[in-house]
Amino acid sequence: MLTDMIRIKKNNPIVPGLIIAVALFFLHISGFLRPLENSLSYLIKPIAGRFYTAGTDIKMAYDANNNPEDPNARAERLAKEVAVLTVANSRRLEIEEENRKLREALKFVSNNSSRVVVASVIAKEAAAEDSLGLVINRGAKDGLVPGLAVVSEEGLIVGKVLETKDTTAKICLTTNPSCQLAAAIQNSDKTQGITDGDLGLTIKMNYIPQLEKIAPGDIVITSGLGEHIARGLVIGRITQVFNESNEVWQEAIIEPLAELDNLTIVSILIP
């Protein structure tokens, strides 16, 4: 019987397991196994991370199925997400549009012999007869003086400098009554006259001789007779002609070709 008990104890797997465990414990305490432990930890960590992520996903799915979100709370959360995405998309579109306008302005600069100062529109102010003028972030320190031509990124004249300060300037648009330009019509007679704004909506061209032949569709440009403004800048296209036989002068209504309400980047031409 004693022999059988001894045999059982010798064949018992717990005994060698305890011996190995005690040996590993002392080796761990002594630091002998630290390099091996570090290597195993490095190898196991990615696998453990995947198991943790998978477990988290399963828990979230379980919670979603067993604890459905309140409809009002869900609607509010989705509305906030839509608002955030809308703002981000709006900013992206604005940046793309500003970059496009800058590229167009730089293209115009590279093809122009005058010195060109590119400026950003920073404000709108009331001008003559309830029309609007624009304030730009360039001024006297950049070489600007009253009377200089202001053009869009495409090179269309949109107004001229009205007054300057050191670092800013106010410009009047071609639709403002205070923005007079020496103009010429691209017709067979090269008809000349003066343009000014019509209540901030369109442009009028006055002092056109009665015998000159002008018609809707004719293009109007700067004549070069005005101070600081060269010839050839496109002002707009004639849409109406007023010709009274008992009058000395004709009058034309001109539609601007530039989008004056959406100006954010402009260029000032310094001859």
Give per-residue pLDDT as tens, 208-256.
888 888 999 999 999 989 888 988 889 999 999 998 878 888 999 999 9
Pairing of strands 181-185, 219-222: antiparallel
- Higher local confidence (pLDDT), 56 or 180: 180
Residue 184 predicted with pLDDT over 70:
yes
**What confidence score (pLDDT) does residue 137 get?**
94
In tens, the pLDDT along 141-160 reads 999 999 999 998 888 899 99
DSSP 71-135: HHHHHHHHHHHHHHHHHHHHHHHHHHHHHHHHHHHHHHHHT-SSEEEEEEEEEEEE-GGG-EEEE
* 122-156 burial: b if 16+ Cβ within 10 Å, else e: eeeeebbeebebbbbebbeebebebebbbbbbebb
Mean pLDDT (the chain) is 77
Average pLDDT over residues 49-75: 64
- Higher local confidence (pLDDT), 265 or 58: 265
In tens, the pLDDT along 21-50 reads 665 555 556 656 566 555 555 555 566 556
Per-residue pLDDT band at 161 (split at 50, 70, 90): very high
**What confidence score (pLDDT) does residue 2 get?**
41
Residue type at position 117 = V
Tokens of 260: 């004056």
Q: How far apart are CA 112 and CA 7, in angstroms?
A: 106
**What confidence score (pLDDT) does residue 72 get?**
76
Using DSSP's 3-state secondary structure scheme, residue 170 falls into strand
Q: How far apart are CA 237 and CA 11, in angstroms?
A: 108
Most confident of 54-63, 74-83, 98-107, 250-259: 250-259
Annotation: CATH topology of 115-270 = Thrombin, subunit H (2.40.10)
Residue 98 predicted with pLDDT over 70:
no
Average pLDDT over residues 104-119: 69
Q: How far apart are CA 138 and CA 168, in angstroms?
A: 5
Residue type at position 203 = I
Residue closest to 185 by CA, chosen among 201, 203, 170: 203
Domain ranges in the chain are 70-108, 115-270
Q: What angle do CA 51, 55, 61 make, to 5 degrees?
A: 145
- Higher local confidence (pLDDT), 226 or 66: 226
